């Protein structure tokens, strides 16, 4: 997947910031469970 998105490497810090916001959002919605995180990591 990273190969298909060249911006991923150049904007890595922006991506990490966005990813943290998504995780915080999921936690606030009650969806940030360990099981959900594992499913996303494996997909």
Q: Report yes or no: 34 and 28 within 8 Å, Cβ to Cβ.
A: no
Is this model's pTM higher than 0.75 or not?
Answer: no
The DSSP-derived string for the chain is -GGG-THHHHTHHHHHHHHHHHHHHHHHHT---HHHHHHHHH-
Q: Give mean pLDDT, residues 5-13.
A: 61
Q: Which of 10, 33, 13 is nearest to 23 (CA)?
A: 33
**How large a percentage of the chain has pLDDT more than 70?**
35
């Amino acid at each position: 997947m990273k190969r298909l998105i060249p911006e991923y490497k150049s904007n890595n810090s922006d991506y990490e910031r966005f990813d943290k916001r998504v995780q915080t959002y999921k936690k606030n919605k009650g969806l940030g469970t360990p099981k959900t995180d594992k499913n996303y990591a494996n997909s």
